[in-house]
Every structure is written in structure tokens, then in C-alpha cells.
Structure 1
Amino acid sequence: MSLTSVVVPTTPFEGQKPGTSGLRKKVKVFMEKHYTENFVQCIFDALGEDKVKGSTLIVGGDGRYFSKQAINIIIRLASANGVAKLIIGQLGILSTPAVSNLIRQLNVLGGIVLTASHNPGGIRHDFGIKYNIENGGPAPDHVTDAIYEHTKNIKEYRTTPKLETDRLIDVLGTYTFNVDGKDFVVEVIDPSIEYVALMRDIFDFHKLRALIRGTDTKPPFNVLIDSMNGVTGVYVRRIFVEELGASPDSNVRRIVPLDNFGEIHPDPNLTYAKDLVDKVKDNCEYHLGAAFDGDGDRNMIIGKHAFFVTPSDSLAVLANNLECIPYFQKNGVHGFARSMPTAAAVDRVAEKLGKEMFEVPTGWKYFGNLMDAGRLSLCGEESFGTGSDHIREKDGIWAVLAWLSIIEHKNMSVEDILKEHWHTYGRNYFTRYDYEECDTDAANLMMHHVEQLIGCSSFVGKTYTSSGKSYTVRKADNFSYVDPIDNSVAKKSVRVLFEDGSRLIYRLSGTGSSGATIRIYIDSYEKDNVLSEAQDTLKPLVEIGLEISQIKKFTGRDAPTVIT
């Protein structure tokens, strides 16, 4: 049967501007008539007819509510826009790292990822669409800017309304349709095969299995892996249970992906993963706990008794121990990078090892150019994102396997590894205050206030005192980044740098679906005082950070939503 595409008139929707990682809105917004169709058509229009016609694209996501409906829309629009083939994860499931890997392994044009990452799911909550380019990474600014420009002027979209998509993605197989006289192919794949093969190639699964299962001379290393009802459940079962021998009853939890994440917030931090933290804290048999977010790119690591590893420290420890991972033994280590708000712990490792070190704006896309140029092997963000040049996304499962490899190699606990690292390099005490879903106008006024304040000639050199401790401002600016590969410029986040190396950073996050999220980052370096409680050490600087921002005055908020 031959199918014919049609052109459907439409009008623009306001606010379809992709943020740090795509377009995120409430589910009910995406369900509005023409809304999702408009945005998907604008992705194709921004890429251009020459690229799209005859191309192959990957499609998948974290399985959150509205994913299947969105995939049906994408199938119909792709067929009408001349795409030759879609490769889709069964049931629409593909973690963000798995999408990146497939794009790279299969050498295709790119991928459409259906996720709102760590945001809550379900009909009352969030949905998202982002485009990943041919290197496997998130679309850079010039691509997302082009998509946005098309959304402001769109007049029509192309679709194939009679292409039957119901239950198409439920069963593995290859399906061919004739659309406008040309073959259009949909291949539904097992979402885990290629990714598991990649992890097996990067790590020594034989050693990791011996660690987790135990040997004649060593007891089992007990882990508790929490997928938080997100997409990683599929991969956790295949890797940790089937490959590494973890118990499906006692070593993994919440590994069935649910479209509403079981009504929890799938964000792996001390607030939203408190259930995991409490279980590890209360059960002394667990040596390591780990949690992942909805789409599998973020991770949290805790040691015995819930000893917390900050993402900044996690990145630094990994950088200092890459020699125990086969992938880096084979490929070498070319450099390190972190997002600017991430504490500078990894910088000292780079200096000691003689490696290049990069400080980039928040957003994983800024790491991609450095990796493609062969100048970056390991990178991370303080927002629980860690990854390497094996793909072009952060990768939660990879990070946990890397930690287990270090533990196996050093034969040390998580806590002892951190303490050894601090005694060698000193410690960056770090915390982040998140004020979620603030009034957007109020948040912008607060940021404007901070920018005006740091612009005053008298600000540099000013001394702030709180709880008996004083900090003198050395430098204050709007962080600017010039990409060393393509010379593009990005300006994001306000920085206040103090003479002792401490920092305050203020930023509006682009990952929410409604309102504005204000993030305040507090970072203080100590060379010798490395074993104190972080919140006690940082308390004076936190108070100064709140004083400078006047956040309560502008937003009415007495306390942050989340403290990391």
C-alpha cells in the first residue's frame, strides 16, 4: 500500500526555545493541537532538506508519559519529510547515553531524544524533546537557535496521517512503508545491546563481577543501585544483574521504567534520592549506593553509611585513577574539563598529571568540540553529570562502573579513597542551593540586581564578614567562554571570586519546564582542614551569598528547594 504525505497549516506557539538540553514544558503543553508537530517540523527545517532527505535518525527516550504519542508524531513527520529510516528503542526506551552511542556507532545524522531528564513525569508534570547531532552530543547553540527561529515563523508541517503507528514500537523488528513513492523504514531495536557491548569494551567485567560476587579470599562488595523507576532499569538489569552477578532482590531497586517514575522525582541527589540514602545509612552491609535520573545521564555516589561524594570530588577522583580502566589504558588520557560552577578539585589533578584543563559553561554540548578535537577525555558537571569521550553525553552507569573499577583496583572503600585524595590535593567544600519554580520576573530581577552590584567599582576589594569569618572580593564578572576549537562565545553565570579562592556563582537554570530555577553555588578550598562537615565550613559563605543576592527580597523564598 502506497501512502501519501500531506501539508497541514499551522501557526507558531510562543516560547518554543530550546534550553540547555532541548525544549521542556508540561505534558499538557506538548499535548496541545499542533504543538509537538510544530517543534519536530522545526527540527527538520533547521537541519535543512539536503541533510534530512535520505537520512537515518535514532529515536528514543526515558519512557515518561506522552513518549509513545510523541514517537507516533515523529514517525509520521519523518516519513513525510523524506527521512529514509528511523531506529527506535523498543517501547520508545533508550537512555540518553545509549542514543549518543548509537548515533556514533551507526554513523547516522543524529537523534531525537524524548526526555525531561531529572524532572518529574506523568500527565501533571514534564516532557521534553531535544536533538542530538551527528557526533552524538546535544545540538550546539547555532542549531538550537535555528530551530527556535523556525518556531517563530512556522506556517505548515508535513505528515503522513494514514501511516499506522499504533503498537508499532512494541515489537522488535523492521517495518517498511511506501511513502510518496519511496521506502520509509522503521527498525525497532533492543535498547540495551549496543550500550552493554560498549561498557563491556570499556571496563573489565571479569574483575567487576569478582568484586561484586566475591571470591574465595574476598567477601562480596555489596552495592545498592537505584534506577528511580527511570530508563536505566533496563541497563541495570542487563549489566549489574546479568553481567556482574548482583542480586535482583538486594542489590538493585526500582528498575522497572514507569511513565510517571512512580510519582517520585527522578533526580539523584540527597533530597530526591533520600530513600536510597536512608537505606544505605541504616544498613551497614552496603558498601556503595548509586542512583540515576530519568534518562540515565546523571548519577549520585555514596559510600558506606551514606558517605556522600560530591560530583566535583567524583570527577577529581576519577581523573586521578583512570589508569585502572582498560579504555584509558588503550586510548590514553588527553585532558580534563568541568563546567564553570563545578568546584575546581579536578584542576589540581590536571596540574599534577600535566594534562590540559578546560573550564566551560554549563551544558554538555560545550565538551563535544574538545572531545572531537582529541583534547578531552574526562569531564563533569556539579549537577551530578560525569562522562568521558566514549560518547558525547554524560553517562550515569559509566560513572558507577568507573568507581567500581577504582575500588577494585585500589582495594579501598569509597570513604578511604576520598580521604586519601583530600590529603593529597586538599578539599573543595561545595554546596548548591536550588530555588525551583520561582517567578520568572522575580528571578530575572534578582539576577539583574547581582549584575549591577558586581558592576560597581567599589565591589572588588569589598570585605564581607559572617559568623566570624571574612572574605574579600578579588574579582567579579559575567563568565565568558571562547571555544578554543570554533571560537564561538558563550556568556553565562555571574561569578564572585574571593582572595582565598572561595567562590559564589549565581545562575538561572534552563532545565526546568515552568518558572525559573535559581542556582547559587558556594565553593571553598581548604588545603589542610579536609575532614570537617561541609555545611559547617561553608555556613559563613552561604550567608554572604544570600546577603549579596537578596534572594528572599526578590522571590519571597526563605529556603532553597534542594540543597546539594
Structure 2
Amino acid sequence: MNARAGQQAQESDLIDVPALIAAYYALVPDVTNPDQKVAFGTSGHRGSSLDSAFNETHILAITQAIVEYRASQGITGPLFIGKDTHALSRPAETTALEVLEANGVRALVDEFDDFVPTPALSHAIISYNRAGHDDQADGIVITPSHNPPRDGGFKYNPPHGGPADSDATSWIANRANELIANENRDVKAAEPSGVETYDYRGEYVADLATIIDFDAIKKSGIRIGADPLGGASVHYWQLIADTYGIDLTVVNPVVDPAWGFMTLDWDGKIRMDPSSPSAMASVLSHKDDFDILTGNDADADRHGIVTPDGGLMNPNHFLAVAIQYLYTHRPQWSEDAAIGKTLVSSTMIDRVAESLGRRLWEVPVGFKWFVSGLIDGSVAFGGEESAGASFLRRDGTAWTTDKDGIILALLASEIVAVTGKTPSQLYAELTEKFGAPVYERVDAVATKAQKAALGKITGAAITATELAGEPILARLSEAPGNGAAVGGVKVVTDNAWFAARPSGTEDVYKIYAESFRGTEHLRQVQAEAKLIVDAALAG
């Protein structure tokens, strides 16, 4: 923990916004340098213009590659495009529109030149494609999510509305790097003229009644606080309050591309992570002013839930409560609809699923794995340990196929209104029934070669038979739900587990671990996990 974690950002912590934008246009990347080439992670291409990792050159090439990809897939409908509040998002949107215009792609920007949350764009794609048009729409979300203010991000969402799969992103990234290597000679760009618009905010907010019980919230009279953390949902919350007549206060409506109002995250950086107590410190100061208080990150695909009795909830805790509530308060949902979780999410979810008699669908890290299940209704809820989730409408049809921090925040209010208990109180009830797990993620140093080896490791490479005094029951390198490669390994016992995965951005590997036998046992699991993984990599 940085000594200033949780403290107000100072002038010296802030980015120079004009310099950041100037670098976007001035610096030209060298794609022979791995740190400067186009690379799509689980949520698109991210980087900073100051590092020659997110520049006009990149966006010209990526957009041209998307144009060519969608043509190869027969996608001829409109392309929905939206940006968040990061400083690099607007220039990237302008660049993308130049390429889309020159290639004859019908692009739809926000009607009010507003910011567009990731879930609002996913909702727009799904709504268009559900309406029975002869063509299909797709979209681009310009956001690095909760990343620091110096970063930019660029993500492609195909016609299913969710994050593109690795086949699509690999093709797009490879083609973009080819274009850059050829000095973007094959990129078409022209000044946008007469760009069409779409009311993302109005359409999304008007449709929220199909997924959230606002009548119950309004009748209860509960006091709700919503902090957009300076992100894209900033103008959505007031419209939600006005549309549904609920007692909701926008705690901080300020938009500042330097995020000078934020408190510093655990490592001393400004990061809009609504699941981090340090980043949410200023929000937490208001916890006693409301019956429920929530936060979102910069593109509103993540949620943070604050209760007066429990403070900021661990994301795993709220996921478990949300699942318990939804599957007992959505009578129109199919009895066969599964509960989706990533394999590094809490085993508390497994125990809740078993108690509900529901099938658990455990997949690798990345929300893209939930897309097909949410589309066809075979999965009613999909959630990640990093505070990202979405679920079906009340009638059992798809809402979004990307993470939606707004509906998870609103669900917290519905839960309080309907049950008369906070999500923290409901989680305490779950621990009385199923035990109280202790969960943590730590990092271990690894070389690039070790990270590459870990990404390809198989369960058979784990030779240990015990973990922290318990017999090992499973060594997983493929997810139980869909058989997809984990990109690492998960080791399971009766009362604990750990998972190890290489970081995509740093020379470390991540160890996720959980124990139902307390903190001391968790420490033992973590220590042995590193030894087990190191032995497997050495062997």
C-alpha cells in the first residue's frame, strides 16, 4: 500500500491534459516494439499516448481493421460509437469517425454529444438487432475502463453486443499492426460530415423498467446516493431519478479529465475503481447519508456498493447476494437458467447456486464468455470477481451482453426496498449458512518466459497432492463450464482454492486465493500456491 492511498489527489498527481492530447497526434509508434504495437486484452487495446501506445496512428489503423473485419463478416448495419470521460477518448472518437466516414460506414454518435457508458452502447446494439432489421449493427466503445487518466482504450463489440472474442480481436490487432508497419498507407480517412446521432441515454434509461423494480424502490422511499466517479454515467443518474421518481442524489457530478477530485488508489495512482476502498474513500465519507450508496468506473461497466452498516462491499460478497436475490425474485426466469461466474470468483457463489438448485457455469476470466448464455437466456446472471456483471430482463430476455455497473447499482436499491435489509446484512446471513470465506489477490514476480509458460500450463503439471493441509481435489487448466483454456491453473480443495494467471501488462503473475478456514489458512494457501506454481514452471 502506498503511504498516500485513500488521500486526496494533489496537483503533482495530475496529468497534463494538453500534453497528453498533443502526444496523441505527435508521437508515432514503432510496432516492432511490443509495448507500442496494437494488442487487444480482455477489454480492447489500452495504453497512453505519452508512451506511444495509444496514438492517432493506432486508432486510424484499428478502425480501418474493424471496417475490414465487419465487411468480412457481412456486417452492413450501423456502427454505434461512444466515448467515456478520459482525455484521450474524444480525439480517438474524432479519428475513428474520419475512418468510418471514408469507408462509407454509417456511424451513430450520441445525440447530445454526451459520454456513453459501455452498457448503454451494448444495449443499443442489442436493441437494433432485436428489432428485425435486414442488416446487423455493431459498435466501438472508446474507454480504458477504470485505468488512470493518462490512458486511452478502444474496444470492438460485434453484433451480439458484448466484447469481441479472441478470434476477432486477434484478426483486428494483427491487421492494424500490418497497416501501421506500412505507415497506414491503406487507411482511408476523411473529415466527418453529417454524422448521424442516437439518444443512448434516453433509450437506455427508458428501458430500465424492464429489468429493475422501480415501483418497489419508489414506494419504499429509500435514500439513494450515486457517484459516477467522474465517468460516463454522470448524466444518466439524474435522468433515472427524474424518470422514475426515486429519491436519488448524484453525489459528485463533476467531470474532470485529470480526475483531481479522486482519492489515490492502493498504489498511489488515480484509478477509478469502484471496488477499491482507497479509490472510493471520498465516496465512503457519505455512507451514513444514504440507505444505499453506489459508485461506477469511467465507462460504468463496474459497480461499487456501499452500505451504512458495512461500508464498501467486497465485489464477491455483493455478487453472491445479487444471485441469491435475483434467482428468488424473478419468477419469469427459466428454471433451467444457469448462474455464470468466472473461475476466480468466490466459492460462496457455488454454495449459493447449490442451495438454489441452479446449475453453475464456471468460465475463464473475461466477460466475453458470458455473451452466448445471456443472449439465449441459458445463463440469467454472469459476474466477475472484479465487480463486473449483467443479468437478464425481468421477462428473461437479454438486456446487455457487456458488464453493466448501472443496473447492479440499481439492483442494490431494489434489494433494500424489497427485503428491508442491506446487501451487507444479507451477506452476513449467507455466511451463517455457508461459512465466511476470506478472499485475496496477490502478485508474484515472473519473467516474460515464466508468464508465457504459465499461460500454457496444464493441470497435469501440478504434482502437489496437498494444499495447506487439505487433499487437492482438482487441478484445472480448463474451465468446468465450457472447457475453454484458463490461461493458467486453478487448484481446489474442500475449503480453499487458488488460481494463478500471468498478468497481461506487468512482469508478475496473479494469485487469486480463498479459504473458508480463516485468514491464517489463506496465508498458508497463498504461500504454498507460489511454491506449487514455481515448481511447475521449473519442471
Q: TM-score, normalised by structure 1?
A: 0.76
Show the counterpart of 1:494.
489
Show the counterpart of 2:147.
119
Answer yes or no: is the 8 Å Cα contact 2:303–2:405 preserved in 1.
yes
**Which of 43, 46, 50 is the aligned partner of 1:21?**
43
What secondary structure sits across from 1:51 in the alignment? coil
Amino acid at match of 2:155: K
Answer yes or no: is the 8 Å Cα contact 1:59–1:89 preserved in 2.
no
When residues 491 and 411 of structure 1 are mapped into structure 2, their CA distance, relative to the original with a 3 A threshold, is: closer
CA distance in 1, matches of 2:463, 2:420: 53
Show the counterpart of 2:244.
243
When residues 455 and 113 of structure 1 are mapped into structure 2, their CA distance, relative to the original with a 3 A threshold, is: same
1:12 Cα deviation after fit? 5.4
Answer yes or no: is the 8 Å Cα contact 1:336–1:355 preserved in 2.
yes
Deviation sequence 1:286-330 (CA, Å, 0-9, x none) = 3322211110011111221443432222222222222675xx334
Alignment of 1:142-181 (within 5 A): 142-154=167-179, 155=182, 156-163=185-192, 175=194
Deviation sequence 1:77-100 (CA, Å, 0-9, x none) = 112223134344533511000000
Identity of aligned residues (%): 24
CA distance in 2, matches of 1:242, 1:99: 20
Show the counterpart of 1:266.
272
- Which stretch shifts more, 361-370 or 254-263? 254-263
**Which of 251, 254, 257 is the aligned partner of 1:256?**
254
1:339 Cα deviation after fit? 0.3
Deviation sequence 1:8-65 (CA, Å, 0-9, x none) = xx9956531210011111133355452211111112222335635x431000021211
**Which of 48, 68, 73 is the aligned partner of 1:45?**
68
Show the counterpart of 1:225.
226
Show the counterpart of 1:129.
154
- Which stretch shifts more, 201-210 or 132-141? 201-210
What secondary structure sits across from 1:427 in the alignment? coil
1:127 Cα deviation after fit? 0.6
Alignment of 1:337-486 (within 5 A): 337-389=340-392, 390-433=399-442, 442=447, 445=450, 448=453, 458-461=463-466, 464=468, 471-475=469-473, 477=475, 479-481=477-479, 484=482
Amino acid at match of 1:343: S
Answer yes or no: is the 8 Å Cα contact 1:93–1:191 preserved in 2.
no
When residues 444 and 495 of structure 1 are mapped into structure 2, their CA distance, relative to the original with a 3 A threshold, is: farther
Q: TM-score, normalised by structure 2?
A: 0.80
RMSD of aligned C-alpha atoms?
A: 3.1
Show the counterpart of 2:92.
70
Show the counterpart of 2:211.
202
Q: Is residue 93 from structure 1 mapped to residue 115 from structure 2 by the alignment?
A: yes
When residues 340 and 548 of structure 1 are mapped into structure 2, their CA distance, relative to the original with a 3 A threshold, is: closer
Answer yes or no: is the 8 Å Cα contact 1:278–1:306 preserved in 2.
no
Answer yes or no: is the 8 Å Cα contact 1:312–1:343 preserved in 2.
yes
What secondary structure sits across from 2:91 in the alignment? helix
1:392 Cα deviation after fit? 0.2
Deviation sequence 1:466-498 (CA, Å, 0-9, x none) = xxxxx33505645213775xx7x3332322323
Deviation sequence 1:267-304 (CA, Å, 0-9, x none) = 11222112222432xx3x43322211110011111221
Deviation sequence 1:133-163 (CA, Å, 0-9, x none) = 1111100111112112313432433334344
Deviation sequence 1:139-195 (CA, Å, 0-9, x none) = 01111121123134324333343445xxxxxxxxxx3xxxxxxxxxx2223331111
Show the counterpart of 1:520.
511
When residues 129 and 543 of structure 1 are mapped into structure 2, their CA distance, relative to the original with a 3 A threshold, is: same
Answer yes or no: is the 8 Å Cα contact 1:12–1:38 preserved in 2.
no
What secondary structure sits across from 1:349 in the alignment? helix
Deviation sequence 1:88-141 (CA, Å, 0-9, x none) = 4533511000000000111242100000011112xxx11110100111110011
When residues 310 and 79 of structure 1 are mapped into structure 2, their CA distance, relative to the original with a 3 A threshold, is: same
Amino acid at match of 1:504: F
Answer yes or no: is the 8 Å Cα contact 1:75–1:86 preserved in 2.
no
CA distance in 1, matches of 2:476, 2:448: 17
CA distance in 2, matches of 1:80, 1:316: 48
Alignment of 1:104-115 (within 5 A): 104-107=126-129, 108-115=136-143
CA distance in 2, matches of 1:447, 1:329: 46
1:364 Cα deviation after fit? 0.6
CA distance in 2, matches of 1:260, 1:516: 27
Amino acid at match of 1:358: W
Answer yes or no: is the 8 Å Cα contact 1:101–1:195 preserved in 2.
yes
What secondary structure sits across from 1:358 in the alignment? strand
Answer yes or no: is the 8 Å Cα contact 2:83–2:142 preserved in 1.
yes
CA distance in 2, matches of 1:444, 1:90: 48
Show the counterpart of 1:541.
522
CA distance in 2, matches of 1:79, 1:100: 22
Show the counterpart of 1:507.
501
CA distance in 2, matches of 1:494, 1:371: 26
When residues 292 and 367 of structure 1 are mapped into structure 2, their CA distance, relative to the original with a 3 A threshold, is: same
1:241 Cα deviation after fit? 5.7
> By percentage of residues, which structure has more strand?
1
- Which stretch shifts more, 101-110 or 21-30? 21-30
Amino acid at match of 2:331: Q
Show the counterpart of 1:83.
105
Answer yes or no: is the 8 Å Cα contact 1:459–1:473 preserved in 2.
no
Amino acid at match of 1:287: D
What secondary structure sits across from 1:391 in the alignment? coil
**Which of 294, 301, 314 is the aligned partner of 1:290?**
294
When residues 544 and 47 of structure 1 are mapped into structure 2, their CA distance, relative to the original with a 3 A threshold, is: same
What secondary structure sits across from 1:521 in the alignment? strand
When residues 18 and 458 of structure 1 are mapped into structure 2, their CA distance, relative to the original with a 3 A threshold, is: closer
What secondary structure sits across from 2:412 in the alignment? helix
Answer yes or no: is the 8 Å Cα contact 1:454–1:477 preserved in 2.
yes
